A and B are shown apart, each in its own frame.
Chain A
Amino acid sequence: MGKIKNSQRKGPLAPKRLQKAAEDSVLDSHSSDLEKPGTSSDDGFEEPISKPSKKITSLPGPVSIIARKKNKFRTDDTKNVKPPTLEEMKELRDTRNLFHSNLFKLQVKEMLEELQLKTKYTEYIESWMESFTAFTQQQLKDGLMQKSQLEVPLNVDMKISSFIFSKPTKEPQLIGAASTGTLLGPKIVVDVALEMPKDCLHKDDYLNLIYDQKRALYLTYITNQMRSYPAYAQDKFAFNYHANNPLKPVLELTPAAKQVSKHLLLRLFITAPQSTFKPGRFVPWNNNIRPTYYNDEWDEEEALPSTQHYNANVLFDLTLAQNQALLDKAFKGRRNFQDGLLLLKVWLRQRELDTGFTGFGAHILASFIVYLNQQRILHQSSSSYQVARTVWNQLSNTDWTNGITLAPAASQTEQLSTLAGYYDVCFMDVTGQLNLCANVPLAVYQRVRAEAKLAVDLLNDMKLNSFPYIFMQKCPLYTRVDNILKITNYSSIQQMLVLHSKPQVKYDYANYAYPQLLKILTVLLQKGLNERVQSILPIESVCSSWPVESKAPVIGQAIQLGLILDPEHAYEVLDKGPASNDNPEGSAEFRKFWGGKSNLRRFQDGSITEAVVWGTAKDAPSKKRLIVRQIVLHLLEHHLQLESNEIQYIAAELDLVYHLTPWFKVSKVKTKLELQQDTDAEALSPNVIRCYDDLARQLHALDDLPLEIVSISSISPVSRYCEPMPVLPQARLMADRIHASHIQRVIIQLGQSGKWPNELGALRALKTAFLIEIGEKLKAQCHLNWSITSEGLLVLKWGFCFLLELAHNKELALLKHEVTERGVTKYVDNSESRALEQRHYILPKVSGALHALHQTHSAYGGTVLIAKRWLATQLLDDGVWPAMATELLVAHLYLQRNAPQAIAAPQTGFNRFLHLLAHSDWNGELFLLNFNNSWQEQQIGDLEHSFRSDRQSYPPLALATSYDQQHAGRLWTTVESPSLRILSHVSRLARHALEMIETSLQSKDLRFVRPAQLFRGSSEGYDLVIQLKSDLVPNALSYDLGSPFVSFDQPNYLLPRAGKDLLAGIVQQLRSAYSDYAAFFYNPHGGKELAIMWRPPTEFAPKAFKVTELQACTPCDKGKVQVVRETLVEDFKVLLKDFYLRISTPEELKREQREQQNPKRYFNAKHQETEASSKPKKQKLAKAAKVQAPPKKKSLIKSKPLKSLS
């Protein structure tokens, strides 16, 4: 209670009255204004004219109030508001109704502007077309095809003998994006179609690929002529396959003209008039490639197999003109449709769904817009946003598997359902003959639908700025699938094609390998994996062009499939067949399908069925994640005779990093718990959690405590499956001191009592007394050892060590307590109170939420483990990158719905995490974790607003959860950790890691990156390395992939004293004292070196003597002072006394290592064999080293230097 002078008892009221008086005077001046309009600009700066104001002071109050109101209204009217025009009203209303905010609309507008083609390109394209038209009409002559050095860009078995060229009768035409005005950078591809005249073709050419050969020859002839024509002689000519289709060669022309050559590419298509062949020649059920063409025998009595895909392929050329005309009609001059299509194209391309043979091309979307327009679902005047939105909506709500058609009812001669029966997905074009989606497999179409549905959901989510998720974020397919199957081995591909591809399929795809492989594998895997897999997606890469003189490459000889798993079923250990006595046939079939793996089993419910068992229910989660891999490998071997070394199945390749190191033998741990040697951090967490639960029960049951324990919550990462280091029950009482490598923090809250003291010291004293009491009771009633520390109570149970802390509201209040000058008590957050609130109140809730998240997404924990291990191996410890930031960022990935399916594999989660690190706009994005959706829309808006307008007051990486509203964005991270420098450094590291992953995925020969490549930091960029005595720093229990500086040493697994981390403490001291001159890095997971990087030389330059800036300075010439690095090094030595082995530069250290170590031990194979049996880890290392040996790969292994960090 403050002291107030008697006379001022009504303190707070007094100023109010004053204010009122002031208000009155303002009113007066207003009314004076009213009386004498225009005399004074009443802004408070000028003195009001005294005479009238005096007169009006005597006026009664209400009059003056009305006067003020009128006055205010009038000024508003004249100054601010000009009456809104109809147009403006409409626009404002539109914005409100269509978009949630102006923001989305403006962002879309900006993006469209950004995508707008520069006029130089449009002009160039126009003039090029003119010249090309002239060229086709004047320079091309009918006649026999001359011999040229060009290779015909087509691989066929039987070649036609002669081909007579005839001059095109029609002008070349722009097709596709160039024609509809929706060209999209950065590489602008302009498609030009040239129609082959009818004279070139005979009516029998439809058969056995003759048409395709003529088409290719025609293209070659034109290319040849163009090359010799001076106007094009300088240009770069290349052939390529359109959409990875080996029957569709196109000419790719890069103009030599300087101003456009970088971004412009012209593609020349050859088409044919529709009237060339008899209508109905190419209906899906017709056969146009005879078995005899491939020297196959065919039973004459049997009907010829239909070649629907090949037919569609030819029809594509024949109907192109007509389709193009339709598109032109719909898009020409309609900016809204064009923009809508552009938006959709951006969306599609970010998702990589339009690539390759099986891609869902943008032309399908364009046709779909026309279709919707025809169906009167899209109106002519719909805005671009409406176009995109309607397309997404319709995509997700319609089903094309039964077929839709663009053709008017009159020309759709065939039954739609019959047509649809021949394809997975059916969208007939305007002629009613061509299926635009002929090559789109069902999985890809479903994927597009799912993505479209997600886009609509994102748009509907008012709490989200959905724009970046829909348009800006790159989502390569490999980050969206859980497992990847990659077959690149030539002989196994051939084996599959020859032995397992059905002849019908072979004719259907004109012997193109890729779709055949796709069909074989998807059918098999879909059947075998059944519910376990949500979809099997082909991951294609676009084939590259080749110079016109060389032979056309054979493509499609490798396949990569992405599996999206269903987390609910994927990890089931049992595949049950039909009951053997009810359904003997099904049973036999099941047995045949699974081969030797299938056994007859009797189940608890009494049924006896065939079943395949892949593991036991008790298996560790990481082991269960490999079940799908087991199944796939088994199926491939059983059905396709593919050995596991011929294929790559990429799953859980990186999960190794949180496994228990093989050096540590679990048999040495004395415990009642069951432990396996090949266990990992994730599998060990439940032990700790169980122990904690038991401890909580014991605490609740304690008798005679003065106050009852109300709540107990664990805040250690283990409790949410986020501890990357395996926690073994090792903690022991030795010489009266508790030794443990990990302590689990537990927060206890007590029941209400009014008797707690009002002073911080006394409160803490009482808390400590209370903890001692608990400790004594635990010893007496539960026989648990304990020890009191300044932080809390250490309790030992089952070989785990817990640190109990008491939370009390009053402590927080007392920390925040402040008294202002006026004697008013205020509660103000400060760093100490914030830390306490976080630990005692917010972390328990967030911990619970993350635990719940792990229950719904079982891959969450694993992802965090890999992510944390990765950051640690890049020498980033808790001091520079808070561990909670990692957990929350990963949680953000799982909460945010930026993919239609949840992530089922930790490795995929890690890939996404890297993406997030690599491509996030830290400055512009606030990561909000809306647990339980408890933030209201309004609150989110306010937070975002404050974040945008006051960015400086937030840390570089801003994280907020729904449990820390008042600290939003400032609780989990600070300005120093992670600092801007570290943040950009991490982004760079992540980009580099992604690059390695992507190259290994795209390459035909490389295997997936090894953990050793990703999980070992770079030794470059550091100035100094302090090597610590290895026997003083215990090694981490997690799988160690080596330090960047030194080679492996004998590890030690000493148990440190519980509670205080030695190395972390010293590094913290170093950072607090010397961070102006140097940055310190070390691996918190058992790293034994401290890497130091000096700040830029300007920090060490001589400067003038100033009393306040004299830290660490030594005098140099002319009365100036400077910081000397050697002195600082001496300081480091002092601080690390008894602790450091030596200080040297990384290069020196490396050289020394090389001389010291006998290299034979690692590289000499013979030697290795003898040692291998005893030292499993070294053997593995040696393998890794061998892999690293070729210089080509070496560049991959090195991480990028850190130089730019300083």
Chain B
Amino acid sequence: MEEIEGYTVVSLRMSPDAQHCHSVYMREHFIRLMDPNKPKGRTLFLLNVPPYVTEESLKGFFKRAGNVESVQFAAKPGKDETIKWYEGTKETFSTVSPPFIFKVAYVVFQKSSSLAKALAVPSIDLFDISGASTIKTGMELWHEEYENHYILDAEQTKAQITEYMADYDRRERAAALAAKNSEADADGWVTVGKEGRNAGFEQKESVIGRLEKKRENDTKTKELKNFYTFQIRESKMQNIVEMRKKFEEDKRKIELLKQSRRFKPF
């Protein structure tokens, strides 16, 4: 079996007679800061997984090495990459799907003994006994996507929405209740809402900006800007300086334009 830099290299076959296959690089997943979702000793780390490979298909394949707990993808190895990969895809009515690119995979087995078995496979075969691929692609995939994800069934969707909204209302109520409670928690923090006795202003960038601007204006209006002779003289000077500056700036622009040879009319 081929090895490179500590990785076991196996080919990923989409059909029994596949000629040119992608190479998948496998090793035991091990880093200092372990992720609880990728436990030490039970996680197989795969590099260079082709974009069309799905979680289910890998799960299906690695079953032969032992029961698989989960399969997770990420764009590249690293902390939080998996979370980033799945960000926004789990929400209801979301149209976000994970990117279609070459990725890395983490296969978590239930038993650590499965890991060695998995590392010893000669190739990753993503087809069933009859030789048909376990991954839906092309027309089939498109059709499935269209029927199951694009077109929605009205009745089902309605039921789903009612359920979801009920859940949402429950959450909202709980949050509203918490907001009314103006007592300090264990760390001395108090939730401040828009309502209530000691309401704060909204912590929005625009609101803060507005307040600061107002204060700035207040100080400005109190000042006399163009009153004393020296101020007038100064503003005149300033004017000239500005004009000079603009001139220099334009000159620089022209230099830039000149480099792209824009002054030859013919």
Assess the A110–B102 pair: CB atoms within 8 A: no
Which residues of A from 228 to 277 have beta carbons under 8 Å from B?
none
The digit string for B1-12, where 1 denotes a CB below 8 A from any CB of A, is 010110001000
Q: Is B191 an interface residue (CB 8 A)?
A: yes
Known: A107-B263, A761-B93, A764-B92. A102 touches B247 (CB 8 A): yes
Q: Do A1108 and B76 touch (CB < 8 A)?
A: yes
B85-117 contacts to A, CB under 8 A, are 91-96, 99-102
B95 and A791 within 8 A (CB): yes
CA distance A1110 to B230 in the complex (A): 68
Evaluate contact between A761 and B263: CB separation under 8 angstroms: no
Cα of A776 to Cα of B206 in the assembled complex, Å:
41
Which residues from B are CB-within-8-Å of A701? none
Contact digits for A1161-1178, partner B, Cβ 8 Å, 1 yes 0 no: 000000000000000000
Give the nearest-CB partner of B184 in chain A.
A6
- Complex Cα spacing A900 to B172, Å: 63
Chain B contact residues: helix, strand, loop or mixed? mixed
B2 adjacent to A824 (CB under 8 Å): no
Per the 8 Å Cβ criterion, residues 360-401 of A in contact with B are: none
List B contacts of A1110 (CB < 8 A).
25, 47-48
Pairwise interchain contact A73-B154, C-beta atoms closer than 8 A: no
Asked if B230 and A73 make an inter-chain contact with CB atoms under 8 angstroms apart, the answer reads: yes
State whether the Cβ of B265 lies closer than 8 Å to any Cβ in chain A.
Answer: yes
Query: Given A1073-B100, A1111-B48: A1032 and B234 within 8 A (CB)?
Result: no
Q: Which chain A positions have C-beta within 8 A of B20?
A: 1124, 1126-1127, 1129-1130
B5 close to A1105 (CB less than 8 A): yes
Instruction: List, in ascending order, chain A residues with CB within 8 A of B241's CB.
Output: 76, 80-81
Q: Does B139 belong to the interface (CB within 8 Å)? A: yes
- Which residues of chain B are near A1073, meaning CB under 8 Å? 50-51, 100-102
**Which of B48, B92, B204, B240 is in CB contact (< 8 Å) with A825?**
B204
Q: CB of B246 within 8 A of chain A?
A: yes
Given A186-B266, A948-B256, check contact A788 B200 (CB 8 Å). Answer: no
A9 and B253 in contact, given A77-B237, A768-B157, A827-B205 (Cβ under 8 angstroms): no
* Interface residues in B205-261 (C-beta closer than 8 Å to A): 205-206, 208, 211-212, 230, 234, 237, 240-241, 243-244, 246-247, 250-251, 253-254, 256-258, 260
- Within the complex, which residue of B149, B151, B188, B194 is in contact with A1, where a contact is CB–CB below 8 Å? B194
Contact A111 B265 (CB under 8 A): yes
CB-based contact A1130/B260 at 8 Å: no
Distance to closest chain B CB from A1012 (angstroms): 32
> Residues of A within 8 Å of B, CB-based: how many?
100
Please name the residue on chain A nearest to B254 by beta carbon. A106
Among B35-43, B54-62, B64-72, B161-169, the stretch in contact with A:
B161-169
A92 proximal to B (CB < 8 A):
yes
**B203/A824 in contact, CB under 8 A:** yes
Contact of A1107 among B18, B19, B47 (CB under 8 A): B47
Report if A1072-B237 is in contact (Cβ < 8 Å); known contacts: A6-B190, A472-B265, A765-B164.
no
Instruction: Pick out which of these stretches binds chain B: A120-128, A848-856, A930-938, A1131-1139.
Output: A1131-1139
Give chain A residues whose Cβ lies under 8 Å from the Cβ of B262: 468, 472, 921, 924
> Is A769 at the interface (CB under 8 A from chain B)?
yes
Interface string of A472-484 (1 = CB under 8 A from B): 1000000000000
Which residues of A lie under 8 Å from residue B256 when comparing CB positions? 948
> Shortest Cβ distance from B197 into chain A, in angstroms?
13
A1112 touching B138, Cβ below 8 Å: no
Decide if A1062 touches B164 in the complex (CB within 8 Å): no
Query: Whole-angstrom distance from the CB of A28 to the nearest CB of chain B?
Result: 20
**When each residue 122-160 of chain B gets 1 if its CB lies under 8 Å from chain A and 0 otherwise, what string results?**
000000000001010111101001100111101001101
Q: Tell me whether A1039 is interfacial, beta carbon within 8 Å.
A: no
Taken residue by residue from 70 to 113, chain A's Cβ proximity to chain B (1 for < 8 Å, 0 otherwise) reads as: 00010011001100100000001001100001110011001101
A1107 touches B237 (CB 8 A): no
Known pairs A107-B254, A737-B151, A1131-B50; A1105 contacts B146 (CB<8 A): no
Among residues of B, the one whose C-beta sits closest to the C-beta of A89 is B240
Cβ–Cβ < 8 Å partners of A826 in chain B: 204-205
> Which B residues are CB-close (under 8 A) to A759?
168
Flag the segment in A486-494, A981-989, A1113-1121 that touches B. A1113-1121
Pair A762/B168 contact, Cβ less than 8 Å: yes
Most B-side CB within 10 Å, residue of A787, A1110, A1138? A1110
Q: Which residues of A contact B212 (CB under 8 A)?
A: 12
Q: At the interface, yes or no: A670 with Cβ under 8 Å from chain B?
A: no
Pick the residue among A9, A468, A758 that contacts B200 (CB under 8 A).
Answer: A9
Residue among B5, B135, B265 making CB contact with A350, cutoff 8 Å: B265
Q: Once bound together, how far apart are the Cα atoms of A1009 and B142, in whole Å?
A: 41
With a CB–CB cut-off of 8 A, which chain B residues contact A5? 188-189
With the chains together, A1094 CA to B14 CA distance in Å?
23
Q: Which 8 A-B pairs have the closest CB atoms?
A: A1137-B138, A764-B93, A1111-B102, A102-B250, A1126-B20, A1138-B139, A1073-B51, A762-B168
A-B contact pairs, 19 of them (CB 8 A): A1-B191, A1-B200, A3-B190, A92-B244, A114-B263, A471-B265, A761-B164, A764-B94, A765-B164, A787-B151, A789-B152, A790-B150, A824-B205, A827-B205, A1059-B151, A1060-B146, A1069-B100, A1073-B51, A1105-B4
Question: Could you list which residues of chain A lie within 8 angstroms of chain B, going by C-beta atoms?
Answer: 1-6, 9, 12, 73, 76-77, 80-81, 84, 92, 95-96, 101-103, 106-107, 110-111, 113-115, 185-186, 346, 349-350, 468, 471-472, 737, 757-762, 764-769, 772, 775-776, 787-791, 820, 823-827, 832, 921, 923-924, 948, 1032, 1057, 1059-1060, 1062, 1065-1066, 1069, 1072-1073, 1105, 1107-1108, 1110-1115, 1119, 1121, 1124, 1126-1127, 1129-1131, 1134-1139
**With A77-B237, A468-B262, A789-B150 given, can you name 8 additional A-B contacts, CB distance below 8 Å?**
A1-B203, A107-B254, A349-B266, A765-B168, A788-B157, A790-B152, A948-B256, A1073-B50
